[in-house]
A and B are shown apart, each in its own frame.
Chain A
Amino acid sequence: MLFNSIEFLIFFPIVTILFYLIPNKQRWILLLGASCFFYMWFIPKYILILLVTIAIDYTAGILIEEWQDDPSRKKKCLIVSIISTCLVLFIFKYLNFCSANFVALAQHFGWSHPQQILHIALPIGLSFHTFQSLSYVIEVYRGNQKAERHFGYYSLYVMFYPQLVTGPIERPQNLLRQLHEEKTLQYDNIANGLRLILFGLFLKMVVADNLGVHVDKIYENPQDFSSLDITLGMIFYSFQIYGDFFGYSTIALGCALCMGFTLIDNFKAPYQASSVQEFWRRWHISLSTWFRDYLYIPLGGNRVAIPRWMLNTLIVFTVCGIWHGANWTFMIWGFAYGVLLILERGLRNIHFFDKIQNKTGKRIIQGFNILKTFAIVTLLWCVFRATSFGNLRDVLSAWVHNGTLVSQLHVSPIAWIALAAFVCIDLILRQQRFDRWCAQRNIYVRWCLYAVMIFSIIVLSSVQQYPFIYFQF
């Protein structure tokens, strides 16, 4: 079920009202049932895959705790759990990709090897709930989290519908704990939750979808457009993916908050970051902290010799790229970030603008850094958005060679207005969450804002169907 569908507009209030109507002890049954229903709306049989992952990690969690005094068995159990959970991910997400590459390699060396293609669709949100499940086992192993003995609560931790398909990737210390807590009806939770849902829908349906129309045109036939158009397309895509994913995360936060659950913030004005490193602290926070805690730090983090740190950084970001999809473009996208972070650290000790001490000068430098970071991120989104190397080559070639400044892209006024509104909102909010910012305004301003947002969502949203971009991951 999509958040921006009529089915969800019916599903959400029913589940929320029922949640408060039934006794606290039985709420997990309602939420689990609702989450299963929500997930099965896409491809019902894929819930079995989810159940396999849940069963593996639920059992592993208990065994790890039982074998707390036996580090060797505990470790083996963790490894088995990680491998089997990742195996599910590998089969559904990476097997065809590996097979295709193996065949290409075999052909290159003149060996004959028939390509084995599995005709299976990628279960929605597989990478997200796999990571959430893994974080639970690792935290139990580290002793930071007690193993959950109640299968229902554990299943709900993995399947909690607001964040089931596109995150935020929650940690057990945050979500599992809250699932056991008694939730009472709070006016502020409902009001703030609904504000977040409204804002999320605005970002997705008005900003992302209206920009998406133009982005698709450019990436489908880049040769038909001028350099100016392609530049615009790249910028539009930066805001499309931001609006789309930020929108989804915000709706997820809002849905959970209406029932009294607090999920982690996934975005903190990433396009106002003044360095690539800062960008990753603000973009998809739940994923970047996951990689930091479960991959980067175990590899040694930055408390190692410089060459090893460089290697760690490259590994983490390449894996981050592969996590997004089984495609070389994603891998290159991730690897490029790794290289950029290494370069950034290398250049940190070179102080170009040390002499500038006054406030205005510092602001100018800050502004320049923000623009520079945005330009880098936008350029790399181009690699991310391209459907293949061929598509990327076409886009970049048209960008370089179709040097005319005459635009063939007829951008609708609505797209421009949506983009301008998004930039303004992002600048106004900075790192503050929309619901909190809104709560500080007086009632007239608030309701005017609601009216404008509702009107925009209903009237200015694109009539074309655009699934959430991160659904494919």
Chain B
Amino acid sequence: MTNETKHIILQLGRKFLLLAAVLVVLDIVYRFTFYPKDRDENCTLIPYSMKPVKENDDIIYLGESSNHSFCASDTDQRAISEMIDDMMPGHKVGKLSKDACHAGVYYDILRNIPRKNPVKTVIVTVNLRSFSSEWIYSDLEKPLQKEQIFMKKAPALYKRMLLAFKAYAHWSEDERQKLVREGLEEQTLKLPYYFPYHNASEWDHAIGSQDHLFNGQKVSMDTIVLTCHYIKDFAYQLDDNNPRIKDLDKIVKLCHRRGWKLVFHILADNMDQIKTLAGPDLEFLMKQNAQYIVNRYAPKRVTVVNNQYMVRDRDFFEREFPTEHYNQTGRRIVAEMVVEGIRD
């Protein structure tokens, strides 16, 4: 290296140091000017994650729309978390629920809970749909990832920089649909008996192009569409590579580190409808996936409450689209099972 080069490097080094100092000052300026507004506009989860830490909640319920969706005819309009709260006198249950939330977001929420908080138990909702590429690449993922940026433990200016330079899923609608499609085609479905379709995409196309279901029963187009939704949402086989499994693993580690009792609560799906529409093959895959979660996490000191079959068709109040939205009876059944799991 010549002397001239060394001199230039030294000169550049000095300028970069000056730049670092400027950035520190800008960070302070940002924190006291635009940051609060940016945070409030882009991160609604922050207030959620802060709420329970202000109170004396010792149980935290992390959920998505299943927790706070109510049927119009419900006389009991309590959320699942509120029911758990009422069923456990002497405990205070704090809820952190937001539509389309998943394990990745729960992890960030949990990381933000200060150590001084009296949390003893964490209940994490495990929605089997959230493991499918339909949800992983859903259009609700972009705003969630933006929120996650603001939940990082990093200087405010750095977080805003990540937002400005689109360090989140900033796929366009075309790209998103392509990702979903590829996700459905990627995994070969392996059943222990002959199964005519290689992957979810093939299965979806086969069902979508006919006017009858697996049992030869002729049905309306709406029913076919609903069946296709079920296939796209649940026809996968969980393994270590699923990003949500990786997130759940991180949650387990975090909870162990923080000394929290962890409960994974596998949400009930409308198995009655799934069996009728998509047949035993999809039911098999769903049972297999729920069992995978039980087998993977039960040995890791996680209480896994498997509610998969607990709610019957009549207790789902939305039947036109796959949801985990229960009426008051469904919510109460689910809450009771979770409480039982915690007490065990």
Contact = CB atoms under 8 A, between A and B. Distances in A.
B262 to A, nearest CB: 32
Interface in B25-41: 25-26, 29-30, 33-34, 38
B42 A463 contact: yes
B12 A463 contact: no
A129 B172 CA distance: 24
B18 interface: yes
B142 to A, nearest CB: 9
Interface string A1-27: 010111001000000000000000000
A459 interface: yes
Given A451-B26, A454-B22, A185 B5 contact: yes
Nearest to B38: A459
Contacts of B163: 463
A451 B22 contact: yes
A184 B166 CA distance: 34
Contact of A9 (B26, B157, B165, B172): B165
B164 A205 contact: yes
Q: Which of A447, A459, A465 has the most CB of B within 10 A?
A: A459
Contacts of A461: 164
Contacts of B167: 6
Interface in A458-472: 458-461, 463, 465
B12 A459 contact: no
A463 B166 CA distance: 8
Contacts of A187: 8, 11-12
Contacts of A459: 30, 33-34, 38, 157, 160, 164
Contact of A447 (B22, B34, B146, B157): B22
B154 to A, nearest CB: 13
Interface in B164-197: 164-167, 170, 172
Contacts of B38: 459
Given A187-B11, A454-B26, A447 B164 contact: no
Nearest to A455: B26
A64 to B, nearest CB: 40
A346 B161 CA distance: 52
B219 interface: no
A455 B160 CA distance: 10
Q: Which of A187, A450, A455 has the most CB of B within 10 A?
A: A455
Contact of B23 (A2, A447, A454, A460): A454
Given A451-B22, A454-B23, A465-B170, A6 B8 contact: no
A10 B112 CA distance: 27
A132 to B, nearest CB: 27
Interface residues of A, number: 24
Contact of A458 (B8, B161, B166): B161
Given A451-B26, A454-B22, A463 B146 contact: yes
A450 B42 CA distance: 27
A335 to B, nearest CB: 31
A31 interface: no
Contacts of A465: 166, 170, 172
A447 B165 contact: no
A5 B22 contact: no
A2 B172 CA distance: 14
A5 B166 contact: yes
B162 interface: yes
Q: Which of B5, B15, B172 has the most CB of A within 10 A?
A: B15
Interface string B1-23: 00001001101100100110011
A461 B11 CA distance: 30
A455 B29 contact: yes
A238 B5 CA distance: 44
Contacts of B164: 4, 205, 457-459, 461, 463
Contact of B157 (A5, A185, A186, A458): A458
A14 to B, nearest CB: 16
Interface of B: 5, 8-9, 11-12, 15, 18-19, 22-23, 25-26, 29-30, 33-34, 38, 42, 146, 157, 160-167, 170, 172
Closest 6 CB pairs of A and B: A6-B167, A6-B165, A461-B164, A465-B170, A187-B8, A458-B161
Given A9-B165, A465-B166, 17 more contacts: A2-B166, A5-B166, A6-B162, A6-B165, A6-B166, A191-B15, A450-B19, A451-B26, A454-B23, A455-B26, A455-B29, A457-B164, A459-B30, A460-B34, A461-B164, A463-B42, A463-B163
